């Protein structure tokens, strides 16, 4: 993929905005234990915001539909999104409500444990989606995750299909998804844990991921992409399946790897790339993200992705 060869992909993201409070720790504390951490970082995150940032840094024209609180975290999150060129006119500031926060522990092995307080993310409503209909009608892709209420996500997907958009759903954190909603999803992008949760099947390798993805396709999803961390991705479509290994990098922190993958995928598909090339671009971007600490601090710009892995 070359810069500026194609028209920019037009993408609407419906999703969460969080402030990530990240503690580096030598190991995870046991219940009841107090442990000295090594460092603390306050980093912009939230799956919706991360995916919007990834799509924008990688060349997309991006609008975000989301809610934040009227607090410092909310104001600085919106400023950061705007600095990345994201249209935030549909990011609503909710009074008497805190911006979403994620408490993250990251240990020396790269493992993380996360607690989320949804805050304003729980306030995203169908009226927020209705306010975005004009913007949606000019877009190619709707990108959603599940850190905002399921009813709003379902409504957004339904509206997007009516307006002729393609839908990418990243069902994280996993919740039950109605079959008639899955029927409207063009690209379901999920990791191995979410795949196991959705199918009840064990996913340990590419072969078992393909089998589980086929089950999800039978529930009505167009294309299923299972991300397998350092083992890459499997892609299952009506035509068959393909397995693509990940790029080899030195891992520092995998936070936002999946979000970078999703944002990059939307950009490449929106520019008219085929599925294999789009997944390759997404894996390049995600591999760079795992070499850096934090969520939005780790998401690469397009020039960096294009100059890597030749």
Binding site for ligand ATP (CB under 6 A): 191, 227-230, 232-233, 246-247, 249, 251, 254-259, 261, 283, 286-287, 290
Order of strands, sheet of 10-14, starting from the edge strand that comes earlier in the sequence:
91-94, 61-69, 10-14, 141-145, 166-170, 187-191, 223-227, 233-237, 240-244
Residue 227 annotated in ligand binding:
yes
- Is 258 among the annotated ligand-binding positions? yes
Q: What are the helix (H) ranges across 21-132?
A: 47-57, 72-83, 126-131
231 in a labelled binding site:
yes
For the bound state, the minimum distance from the C-beta of residue 279 to ligand ATP, rounded and expressed in Å, comes to 8
Alpha carbon of residue 63 to chain centroid: 14
Residue with the CB atom nearest ligand ATP in the bound state: 258
- What residues are labeled active site? 259
Q: Left if phi > 0, otherwise alpha if psi is -120 to 50, otherwise beta: which for 207?
A: alpha
Burial class (CB in 10 A: 0-12, 13-18, 19+), 76: middle
Q: Is 243 among the annotated ligand-binding positions?
A: no
By C-beta, is 46 or 60 nearer to ligand ATP?
A: 46
The least CB distance from residue 173 to ligand ATP, in Å, is: 10
Q: Pick between residue 97 and residue 269 the one whose CB is nearest to ligand ATP.
A: 269
Q: What is the C-alpha separation between 53 and 296, in angstroms, rounded?
A: 7
Nearer to ligand ATP by Cβ, of 20 and 61: the residue is 20
Q: Which residues are annotated as a binding site for substrate?
A: 18-20, 46-50, 147, 259
Q: Which residues are annotated as a binding site for K(+)?
A: 253, 255, 289, 292, 294, 298
């Amino acid at each position: 993929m070359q810069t500026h060869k194609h028209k920019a992909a037009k993408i609407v993201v419906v999703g969460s905005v969080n402030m990530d409070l990240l503690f580096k720790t030598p190991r995870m504390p046991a219940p009841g234990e107090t442990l000295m951490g090594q460092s603390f970082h306050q980093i912009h995150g939230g799956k919706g915001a991360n995916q919007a940032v990834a799509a924008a840094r990688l060349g997309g024209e991006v609008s975000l539909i989301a809610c934040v609180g009227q607090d410092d975290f909310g104001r600085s999150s919106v400023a950061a999104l705007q600095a990345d060129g994201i249209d935030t006119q549909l990011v609503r500031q909710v009074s008497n409500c805190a911006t979403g926060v994620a408490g993250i522990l990251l240990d020396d092995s790269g493992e993380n444990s996360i607690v989320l307080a949804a805050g304003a993310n729980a306030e995203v409503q169908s009226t927020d989606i209705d306010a975005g209909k004009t913007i949606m009608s000019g877009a190619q892709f709707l990108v959603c995750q599940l850190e905002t209420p399921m009813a709003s996500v379902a409504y957004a997907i339904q509206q997007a299909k009516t307006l002729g958009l393609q839908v990418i759903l990243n069902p994280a954190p996993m919740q039950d998804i109605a079959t008639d909603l899955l029927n409207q999803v063009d690209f379901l992008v999920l990791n191995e844990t979410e795949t196991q949760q959705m199918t009840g099947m064990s996913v340990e390798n590419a072969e078992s991921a393909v089998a589980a993805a086929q089950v999800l396709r039978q529930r009505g999803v167009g294309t299923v992409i299972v991300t397998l961390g350092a083992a890459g991705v499997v892609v299952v479509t009506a035509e068959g399946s393909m397995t693509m290994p990940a790029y080899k990098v030195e891992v520092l922190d995998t936070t936002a790897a999946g979000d970078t993958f999703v944002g990059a995928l939307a950009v490449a598909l929106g520019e008219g790339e085929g599925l294999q090339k789009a997944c390759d671009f997404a894996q390049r971007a995600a591999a760079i993200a795992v070499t850096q600490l934090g969520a939005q601090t780790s998401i690469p710009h397009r020039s960096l992705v294009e100059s890597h892995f030749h």
